Structure 1
Amino acid sequence: MGKKTKKPGKGKEKTEKKTAKAEEKKARRETKKLSPEDDIDAILLSIQKEEAKKKEVHVDDNVPAPSPRSNCSLTVNPLKETELILYGGEFYNGNKTFVYGDLFRYDVEKLEWKLVSSPNSPPPRSAHQAVAWKNYIYIFGGEFTSPNQERFHHYKDFWMLDLKTNQWEQLNLKGCPSPRSGHRMILYKHKIILFGGFYDTLREVRYYNDLFVFDLDQFKWQEIKPKPGAMWPTARSGFQLFVYQDDIFLYGGYSKEVSSDKNNSEKGIVHSDMWSLDPKTWEWNKVKKGGMPPGPRAGFSMCVHKRRALLFGGVVDMEVEGDVMMSLFLNELYGFQLDTSRWYPLELRKEKSTKDKLKKVEQNCPDDVNKKINPACTAREETVESEDEESNIDDISKNIASNMSIVDGENLTNSDEKPKESGAKLDIQSSLPEVVKPCGRINACMAVGRDTLYIYGGMMEIKDQEITLDDLYSLNLSKLDEWKCIIPMIENMRTILQEKTKGKGKRKSTKTVRQVAGERVT
């Protein structure tokens, strides 16, 4: 009898099966070693069991404001523009991370929060995306972080919330995007447009530049593939998408690339490019940024009001000396005129008049007083130029921590940290009105309803400590006169900020802007 011959591909198939089994065993071994705080599957299963106990919708009226959080979603109710819908988010207390799945409804006229508890709610998440259409809010993706931030679970589930009944429904549909967070989702006519994001596999972070469309009439997902040779934005997360008429704009974002050196080290890239997408042809084109565009930054927020897109916040890292880095959390507001593609800084009328008054008073002040009252480091500068580095960094920290603008001034201090008021300083304080302004932050919620801009929560960092915020500000976009603080920062957060800014804000670190903003700039 002749010798038996192996069928082609049989050996390869066996090898693949063995490899898969070995990987399975390895994964099981690693799971056994997990601490309770690492075992995301067990945590989510426990949450799911608790959710299953809910039998009906329950609404608690006039509850306390939500706990501090960032990377949540804030959506204006399309049925009632004076109501905001807040869902999810995360909070880091310095030791542990808490991820939320709670749903709040806030009446901006009555200044009242409602807490909604519903059967079949989505599991807790942050860095998801939410879009409102008719009487529904649609939510896709996001992530769940273990308490010690060692493991992450990315979602690819798609949910629909009925704002009339407060009932959730999971939409299990074919062709949906892969698991991710840091993506962006916007509404164009009867379609939801989704682009980009990232997925953390623990071994590597994968960034996406894929484009998906969900048809709200047909309830179908469709992936739009780039045509050969067509222009297309690079993969990224933490960017912003916004719509004007028949154009969809993309701005900024963050990604990593592996350098070509021997160590194959990863380098973070903060994008500042701008694109427009034609939803009729699905073709991308680069947009030339006219006017005075904002500098590169990560973690900023954007939304649209009429013919203008608004940008707020973000973080930049500044090299002070050697390997010492200073993280500057910004509270600037920029406008992008959508019909002319021009950027410009938005100065409020009250703020502008205050600056004019300050300028007049400064002309009559001695030079040494001027230098102390109006330090060189402001939110608009990207470099620190001073002979006394520590003094300048301290000024920056005070500016970040304050809920007032720099023109409100800080008490002049001597070496013993005792307040010392000069006659000129007292004159300035008495002649200037108080200018209320949100402090600098990243990953804040931003929404527009009835010509009013709302900014809620977010995160900042002072001297290596993350501060998660819970304040709510509004700005009348028709008047552009002043910020109004609807919900002030809770007292213990204010105390932390004050304590942190007493010392020097210098930090010996080589952290990049990406690391400062957290591994997931969303």
Structure 2
Amino acid sequence: MARDKRKKRKDHAIKKAASTSKKANKQATKAMRKDARLYGGSSDEEEDIESLIKQFAEVDRKKGIATEETACAAPSPRANASWVASPLDNVTCFLFGGECFNGSKLRVFGDMFKYRFDKKAWTKISCAVAPGPRSGHQTVALPSGSLLTFGGEFATASQNQFHHYKDCWMFDIKESRWTQLEGPTPSARSGHRMAGWGKFFVLYGGFFDNGKTVKYHDDLWVFDTTSYAWTKVDMPAASSKPSARSGFQFFASGDKIYLYGGYAKKIASEDPTTASSSAGNKAHADDREKGIVYSDMWALTMSTDLSQLKWEKLKKSGAAPPPRAGCSIAVHKTRAILFGGVEDDDETDGNSTCWNDMRSFALDVRKWFPYVAKRAKSDADVVAAEGGGTAADGPEPPPAGPVFDASVPHPRYNAMLAVQKNHLLMFGGLFEQGKSEFTLNDLWALNLDKNGPWECVQRGAWERPAEEEAKQVAAGGQQQDESDSDSSSDSD
């Protein structure tokens, strides 16, 4: 009987969670429609991009408010946003910007949210002066209690027009106020990365796309948090450094800033192995763009004397990740935790495989290790425990492929990671299935001190096919049981 009571309480909890998730999804969908009206996502005729950007700058000013914070549902699905842990406490994270593609139109966001991990509550922050809508930007936390945002891009709904920013903004957490910084900055770009070291924030790479040409950067910049000034660091011509790229991972530890992976597009004929042997054949078939996914790793030795900064290429050691784009990394104590990413298979007409596996990079020994989080207890585990045994002997091996299980985050790339109160918090990202792309807004938490299991804090607005199939199978099984029961009754 006690067992039945536990099951009854569990069923009640599941129904309550489903009801809460349904309500949140409905609110998220409503918010998405509102955003679409505001940002032109439902417009049949596309406006000039410069006019759109000016309109965004006036939206909140017309409201006549300085700052307004209101409780809200979970943010709508998005990727390539910034998701940053507050430097003032161990319970708050900030989400800014991002983008969502619904299969036909792109929507770029300029909204700001605050999330309280202890209360599992979202708040929307509206300011009279704020950065314009963008994705692919970078936001980092200053120890003094501010957030620094640089660059990013805005694209129209049809993605026919692009605008790359080179503005620099600071958000005062205590005052909930944005301020645009004056003075010279790095050139306009998105897909760059920034990492903090001492009083400096270091920026590397990124790309610029004006719809006609695409340029990938390999320049290094340093932002001084005491003078609020940018300085370009020119390396000696003969020194080695990472190639131009965007979308890589960038994180600091000790006197080093580490760079891993990334992505760039190059003309295939620039590769000596594919270039034409005839100099006059300018229209060679190989003169086309080719995406390159990097898996190399570099360490930048830091110094307060910027002329002493130096790149060092590291050898792969341990269970290094395979070449993937869109991986995400967050640092916890003496290790960097990597999640997911996407692999494109050119031999299968460009089909992609999204991953949800994890790796850790030990910063003290510079070595990669598989990271396998504890899994949530299943019914088999409960039965085994009550019988005095265990459902599995020894640690669980790393998965050989993507795992489709409702107890762990769905495979994805460009997920947003932050570490707060020893928890890895993951929000949103992208998932590809065949030719379809899905943007997510689920939120997951993983206790890194206890090595899991994953906790789904909010399911999000997208129902995973694997979960739907499981529901259908369960429903079919229940119907079959009822049919068998009816047949048994009839035979009696």
Q: TM-score range by the shorter chain?
A: 0.7 to 0.9
| One-letter identity of the residue aligned with 2:233 | I
* Contact 1:54–1:118 (Cα < 8 Å) also in 2: no
Which of 457, 463, 466 matches 2:434?
Answer: 463
* Contact 2:67–2:177 (Cα < 8 Å) also in 1: no
* Contact 2:334–2:364 (Cα < 8 Å) also in 1: yes
- Is 1:108 the equivalent of 2:114? no
Q: In the aligned structure 1, how far is the partner of 2:373 from the partner of 2:463?
A: 27
Q: Deviations over 1:193-225 (max 9, x none)?
A: 000000012222100010000111112110001
Which of 131, 140, 144 matches 2:150?
Answer: 140
* Contact 1:330–1:379 (Cα < 8 Å) also in 2: no
- Is 1:282 the equivalent of 2:309? yes
State the partner residue of 2:373: 348
Q: In the aligned structure 2, how far is the partner of 1:256 from the partner of 1:495?
A: 32
* Contact 1:310–1:334 (Cα < 8 Å) also in 2: yes
- Is 1:249 the equivalent of 2:258? yes
* Contact 2:71–2:123 (Cα < 8 Å) also in 1: yes
Which of 323, 336, 344 matches 1:309?
Answer: 336
State the partner residue of 1:221: 230
Which of 400, 409, 412 matches 1:441?
Answer: 412
* Contact 1:128–1:141 (Cα < 8 Å) also in 2: yes
CA offset at residue 35 of structure 1? 8.2
Which ranges in structure 1 are unaligned for 5 or more consecutive residues? 1-33, 364-377, 382-395, 405-435, 503-522
Matches within 5 A, 1:54-453: 54-133=63-142, 134-174=144-184, 176-258=185-267, 259=269, 260-261=275-276, 262-263=284-285, 264-280=287-303, 281-318=308-345, 323-350=348-375, 380-381=400-401, 399=403, 402-404=404-406, 436-453=407-424
State the partner residue of 1:424: none
Aligned CA RMSD, in angstroms, stands at 2.7
- 3-state SS in 2 of match to 1:349: coil
Q: Deviations over 1:358-384 (max 9, x none)?
A: xx9999xxxxxxxxxxxxxx9645xxx
- 3-state SS in 2 of match to 1:290: coil
* Contact 1:57–1:116 (Cα < 8 Å) also in 2: no
| One-letter identity of the residue aligned with 1:131 | V
Q: Deviations over 1:389-447 (max 9, x none)?
A: xxxxxxx7xx5xx443xxxxxxxxxxxxxxxxxxxxxxxxxxxxxxx110111111100
- 3-state SS in 2 of match to 1:37: coil
How many residues are matched?
400
Go from structure 1 to structure 2 and tell me whether the alpha carbon gap of 1:239 and 1:250 turns closer, same or farther (over 3 Å shift): same
Q: In the aligned structure 2, how far is the partner of 1:216 from the partner of 1:341?
A: 29
* Contact 2:356–2:412 (Cα < 8 Å) also in 1: yes
Q: In the aligned structure 2, how far is the partner of 1:274 from the partner of 1:354?
A: 42
Q: In the aligned structure 2, how far is the partner of 1:323 from the partner of 1:86?
A: 36
* Contact 1:69–1:91 (Cα < 8 Å) also in 2: yes
- 3-state SS in 2 of match to 1:345: strand
| One-letter identity of the residue aligned with 1:338 | L
Q: In the aligned structure 1, how far is the partner of 2:418 from the partner of 2:141?
A: 11
CA offset at residue 58 of structure 1? 3.7
> Structure 1 runs of 4+ off > 2 angstroms?
54-62, 322-326, 349-357, 360-363, 378-381, 492-499
- 3-state SS in 1 of match to 2:356: coil
| One-letter identity of the residue aligned with 1:297 | R
Percent of aligned pairs with the same amino acid: 40
- 3-state SS in 1 of match to 2:57: helix
Q: Deviations over 1:118-141 (max 9, x none)?
A: 111111101100010121000000
Q: In the aligned structure 2, how far is the partner of 1:60 from the partner of 1:120?
A: 14
Go from structure 1 to structure 2 and tell me whether the alpha carbon gap of 1:495 and 1:437 turns closer, same or farther (over 3 Å shift): closer
Is 322-331 or 447-456 further displaced after alignment?
A: 322-331
CA offset at residue 52 of structure 1? 2.6
Q: In the aligned structure 1, how far is the partner of 2:293 from the partner of 2:379?
A: 34
* Contact 2:161–2:210 (Cα < 8 Å) also in 1: no
Q: In the aligned structure 1, how far is the partner of 2:380 from the partner of 2:414?
A: 28
Go from structure 1 to structure 2 and tell me whether the alpha carbon gap of 1:35 and 1:111 turns closer, same or farther (over 3 Å shift): closer
* Contact 1:288–1:341 (Cα < 8 Å) also in 2: no
Go from structure 1 to structure 2 and tell me whether the alpha carbon gap of 1:113 and 1:362 turns closer, same or farther (over 3 Å shift): closer
CA offset at residue 349 of structure 1? 3.2
| One-letter identity of the residue aligned with 2:409 | P
* Contact 1:455–1:473 (Cα < 8 Å) also in 2: yes
- 3-state SS in 2 of match to 1:80: coil
| One-letter identity of the residue aligned with 1:448 | V
- 3-state SS in 1 of match to 2:55: helix
CA offset at residue 42 of structure 1? 1.7
CA offset at residue 462 of structure 1? 1.5
State the partner residue of 1:366: none
Q: In the aligned structure 2, how far is the partner of 1:69 from the partner of 1:472?
A: 12
Q: Deviations over 1:69-94 (max 9, x none)?
A: 00011111111220110100011111
State the partner residue of 1:474: 445
Matches within 5 A, 1:36-51: 36-37=45-46, 39-51=48-60
CA offset at residue 62 of structure 1? 2.5
State the partner residue of 1:414: none
* Contact 1:59–1:114 (Cα < 8 Å) also in 2: no
- 3-state SS in 2 of match to 1:49: helix
| One-letter identity of the residue aligned with 2:326 | G
* Contact 1:191–1:215 (Cα < 8 Å) also in 2: yes
Go from structure 1 to structure 2 and tell me whether the alpha carbon gap of 1:214 and 1:350 turns closer, same or farther (over 3 Å shift): same
Q: In the aligned structure 2, how far is the partner of 1:145 from the partner of 1:112?
A: 30
- 3-state SS in 1 of match to 2:218: strand
Q: Deviations over 1:473-522 (max 9, x none)?
A: 011110003000111122x54479848x99xxxxxxxxxxxxxxxxxxxx
Q: Deviations over 1:97-123 (max 9, x none)?
A: 111111100111111111111111111
Q: In the aligned structure 2, how far is the partner of 1:495 from the partner of 1:57?
A: 43
CA offset at residue 332 of structure 1? 0.7
Go from structure 1 to structure 2 and tell me whether the alpha carbon gap of 1:228 and 1:75 turns closer, same or farther (over 3 Å shift): same
* Contact 2:92–2:117 (Cα < 8 Å) also in 1: yes
